[in-house]
Amino acid sequence: MILTVTLNTALDITYRVPSLRPYASHRVSAVTERPGGKGVNVARVLAALGHEVTVTGFAGGTTGRILRDRLTEVPGVVDALVPVSGTTRRTVAVVDERSGGTTQLNEPGPTVAHAEWSAFQELYGDLLASVSAVALCGSLPPGVPVGAYAGLVRTARAAGVPVLLDTSGAALRRGVAGRPDILKPNAEELAELTGFHEPSRAAQDARRRGAGTVVASLGPEGLLAVSPEGRWRAAPPSRLRGNPTGAGDAVVAGLLSALVEHRPWPDRLTRAAALSAATVLSPTAGDFDRPAYERLLSGITVTGEASAAQVSP
């Protein structure tokens, strides 16, 4: 079982319009609505790959009830969300069908009370006893301490469970000090954390700050991994046109999937890069195109080398 944590879950709403124009009225050609938040998206991909996944975090209000109802429709995903008195946020993505671009609007999320946070921490500790890996994903809702992820990382490590952290801003700066086994920022988040814009140097600095392995999403250029075991880059065979929404979450799913299968780092990166690219190619934001994924597995180029002393992450 893999555990994904989404403290700031969301109901993801996607509008498709023929052409998005500022200050204009638009006729929406299609609407989709699905449970979301980064860890929920990760869980959906993991389940599609055949893994059993438990989702935890917070959900509340009418939006939270809709989210949990929709979550029951995802085979292989177990709902362990903690109820809160506030209302789960919505995220709205507007897809411009002419350009393929997406405009995203993200609500802040409900304020989490101290008792609700304590209830989550207790449940989280219990869940760790039966999982093989955990992903801590996304933003922190109001009321949750800024150092929350550092504490959750330490709790997982104390339980002997490998932990991946995927967040940004202050939550990332504080969270890396907990020493996550894998840190998964994008290039912008990595530069903000370290002050370095050259990815390899920034990744090495993030390791100095506490991350065991850093896997950075570099957009069309693929992935960079800097690990005690070595350094590698993984890239798709060509630049891809499509919707990148959820591509980073697919990377997390690929890394966790290959981690629990004890795959070496080049295999982990191949799977993660193929899933990310297949997500960009999917007609539905946050899903991956399975035939494209199968094709891309043999088309991903991985370069780099192992270190002289092999150390597991």
- What value does the mean pLDDT take over residues 289-310? 86
Give the tens place of pLDDT for each residue, 169-207: 999 999 999 999 999 999 999 999 999 999 999 999 999
Confirm whether 289 is a catalytic residue.
no
| pLDDT score of 312 | 46
- What value does the mean pLDDT take over residues 38-44? 95
Give the tens place of pLDDT for each residue, 235-292: 988 777 777 778 999 999 999 999 999 999 999 999 999 999 998 888 665 688 899 8
- The pLDDT of residue 155 is above 90: yes
Alpha helices in the chain (DSSP H): 38-48, 61-71, 114-127, 148-158, 169-175, 187-194, 199-208, 247-260, 265-280, 290-296
**Residue burial 283-293, b: 16+ Cβ < 10 Å; e: rest:** eebbbbbeebb
The closest of 119, 63, 106 to 86, measured between CA atoms, is 63
Q: How many angstroms from the chain centroid is the CA of residue 47? A: 14
Does the predicted TM-score (pTM) go above 0.95? no
The closest of 135, 210, 218, 227 to 174, measured between CA atoms, is 210
Find the catalytic residue in 12, 166, 181, 249.
Answer: 249
Half-sphere exposure of 142 (CA within 13 A, CB side): 10
| pLDDT score of 273 | 96
Other residues' Cβ atoms within 10 Å of the Cβ of residue 211: 29
Give the sign of the dihedral formed by CA 129, CA 206, CA 246, CA 267: negative
Give the tens place of pLDDT for each residue, 55-112: 999 999 999 999 999 999 999 999 999 999 999 999 998 989 888 788 889 999 999 9
Asked if residues 9 and 58 have their Cβ atoms less than 8 Å apart, the reply is yes
Please provide the size of the chain in residues: 313
Return the minimum-mean-pLDDT range out of 105-114, 219-228, 240-249, 293-302: 240-249
Q: Model confidence at 307, in pLDDT bands (50, 70, 90)?
A: confident
Across all residues in the chain, what is the average pLDDT?
93
Residue 287, token pair as written in the block: 């899903």
| pLDDT score of 286 | 65
Sheet holding 102-106, edge to edge: 30-36, 10-17, 89-96, 102-106
Q: Return the higher-pLDDT residue of 312 and 81.
A: 81
Q: Model confidence at 311, in pLDDT bands (50, 70, 90)?
A: very low
Give percent of the chain with pLDDT exceeding 70: 96
